[in-house]
Chain A
């Protein structure tokens, strides 16, 4: 993968920069988590949320839809079938969004390394901000991971969500390798990149050409009882 440096520059005049600072300050202190719990990873999360470790004191709280969430928390292995759902979920989230991969399964496939049906490295398909390795990581490790994500966001260093727009061709290529060339999602990522000024060198490429060739327009769902 070609590394493109994500610029961390401040835009606009002094007033808007003050607002940006305020925004980042608040963003780091208010994180809504969407859990995508596959496999054994889900077990260690209830203690993180409830009275023993209480992540609400960090301003982190669980949310239930991708639209409302800031963090996509993927705990455990992602099979190819699961990964499709994870992609749909990820693309529907509003930016800035962050992805946390928990367990060694999301890092390199873990104990499913030899499985034909498992996607091994999560960051080939979407930009991951933070890995919390372990099989399973303990709640202490998850809290410490959340703290380091909060620190990164506050310093303005966690801008991986921009990479998805700027390197869309790379990520789409990896998805097409698994799901076939007909793969498409309801979210128009290229359109969003153009609208929000996030087009990078890697946004267009051979894989997006395939997508544009095979893409079917979205149809409303048939109403049926």
Chain B
């Protein structure tokens, strides 16, 4: 199997894949943003936004005539927030394209997925807005909360497949059929993964760091024009990354694009369906909840990994 995965591919092929993978991720991510807003609207019995709304928003924000920058670190922070995910996309194998996933592995991917939050923290720090500081401190605390179960899940899956190579994890699941999918083999890990996904996407009940009415969208409070546009792009990447990673770990990835996208959109719908039913948890309750239930379920799942 190793020889099959580590087959030599030409440099130009890799370069094309490195360019294509983030572009596809961005486009799919925009559709996911629309999908989530549509679901939200339907749950509230509204019609919801038109088809190209996420694209209109991004183009408009980048096309604002006056832009307010708070300094160099503010600019760099937004670039880091987007760049972290763009780098993560190249490590996330999709049908027909593996990018540099065979060399990176799942642990590098886990690291890269933390960079956007840190970049955002840098940028928000320079804005010197009290609401922003409160928001980002809550966001980083939330990250601390959901990253513990996330790491447990990632190691559980790696332990089950006896590899940290994401390409091989997907191949193993695809070759042996549905019975070998992560969700069937390790249902406890998959369950903890869903809770982590909810926190990672910042959906209710875990969205206290955004809290529009109380701290004016927290980290986004001073972002205008292209800075907010950058965060909208980041959100599109985030949805794509989280959904495709979940599908790769637990639902056998996708042998075709159709399969992968169908699974990803189902995965992305779950947090949104849950979101509008719940109010929100306070930060300390959020940490307590994440370190208790998903961690316990995750550890139990790791114990049963075989």
Chain A interfacial positions (CB closer than 8 Å to B): 19, 22-23, 26-27, 29-30, 50-51, 54, 56-57, 59, 61, 63-65, 67-68, 70, 92-96, 192, 196, 220
Given the complex of chains A and B, what is the CA–CA distance between A68 and B223 in angstroms? 7
Return the CB mask of B38-56 against A: 1 if under 8 Å, else 0: 0001001111111011011
Contacting residues, chain A, for B59 (C-beta < 8 A): 22-23, 26, 30
> In the bound complex, how far is the Cα of B63 from the Cα of A95, in angstroms?
10
Contact of B83 with A by CB under 8 A: no
Chain B residues with Cβ below 8 Å from A192 are 66
CA of A59 to CA of B66 in the docked complex: distance in angstroms? 21
Q: When A23-B63, A95-B64 are in contact, do A67 and B221 touch as well, CB less than 8 Å?
A: yes
Q: Name the contact of A56 in the complex, choosing from B49, B61, B223 (C-beta under 8 A).
A: B49
Nearest Cβ in chain A — how far from B133, in angstroms?
12
Q: Given A95-B64, A95-B65, 15 other A-B contacts at CB below 8 A?
A: A23-B63, A29-B56, A51-B46, A54-B48, A56-B46, A59-B49, A64-B212, A65-B217, A67-B221, A67-B228, A68-B223, A94-B65, A94-B225, A96-B65, A220-B128
Is B216 within 8 A of A64, CB to CB? yes
CB distance from A67 to the nearest CB of B (A): 4
Q: Which residue of A lies closest to B55 (CB)?
A: A26
**For the complex of A and B, 6 pairs with smallest distance between CB atoms:** A67-B224, A23-B63, A26-B59, A30-B56, A54-B46, A51-B45
Q: In the complex the two chains form, what is the Cα distance from A96 to B63 in whole Å?
A: 9
A26 and B63 within 8 A (CB): yes
A165 to B, closest residue via Cβ: B66
A57 near B222 with CB under 8 A, answer: no
Chain A residue at smallest Cβ distance from B53: A59
* B222 contact set on A, CB distance < 8 A: 65, 67
* B side interface size, CB within 8 A: 35
B217 A30 Cβ-Cβ under 8 A: no
Task: Among A50, A57, A64, point to the contact of B50 (Cβ < 8 A).
Answer: A57
B282 contacts the other chain (CB 8 A) = no
- Say if the beta carbon of B68 comes within 8 Å of chain A: yes
Residues of A within 8 A of B68 (CB): 67, 92, 94
Which residues of the other chain, A, contact B128 by a CB distance below 8 angstroms?
A: 220
A57 x B221 contact (CB < 8 A):
no
Chain B interface (Cβ within 8 Å of chain A)?
A: 37, 41, 44-50, 52-53, 55-57, 59-61, 63-68, 128, 212-213, 216-217, 220-225, 228
Give Cα distance in the complex from A51 to B53, angstroms. Answer: 18
CA distance A86 to B92 in the complex (A): 47
CA–CA, A207 to B97, complex, Å? 64
Q: Which residues on the A side are within 8 Å of B45 (C-beta)? A: 51
How far does the alpha carbon of A174 sit from the alpha carbon of B224 in the complex, in Å? 28
Contacts of A57 in B (CB 8 A): 46-50
Asked whether, in the complex, the Cβ of A196 is within 8 Å of the Cβ of B66, the reply is yes
Chain B residues near A26: list those with CB within 8 A.
55-57, 59-60, 63
Q: List 20 A-B contacts (CB under 8 A).
A: A19-B63, A23-B59, A23-B63, A26-B56, A26-B63, A27-B60, A30-B57, A30-B61, A56-B37, A59-B50, A59-B53, A64-B213, A65-B221, A68-B220, A70-B60, A93-B224, A94-B67, A94-B225, A95-B65, A196-B66
Chain A residue nearest in CB terms to B45: A51
Q: Are B221 and A94 in contact (CB under 8 A)?
A: no
B223 touching A96 by the CB < 8 A rule? Answer: no
B47 CB contact (under 8 Å) in A54, A64, A70, A95 = A54
Report how far A27 CA is from B65 CA in the complex, Å: 11
Contacts of B61 on A, CB cut-off 8 Å?
30
List, in ascending order, chain B residues with CB within 8 A of A59's CB.
49-50, 53, 56
In the complex, chain B residues whose CB is within 8 Å of the CB of A65: 216-217, 220-222
Looking across the interface, which residue of chain A has its beta carbon closest to that of B57? A30
Q: How far is the CA of A63 from the CA of B41 in the complex (A)?
A: 17
Q: Which residues of A contact B37 (CB under 8 A)?
A: 56
> Nearest Cβ in chain A — how far from B186, in angstroms?
39
A61 to B37, CA, bound (A): 11
Bound CA–CA A151/B132 (angstroms): 35
Across the interface, do A29 and B53 meet the contact criterion of CB distance under 8 Å? yes
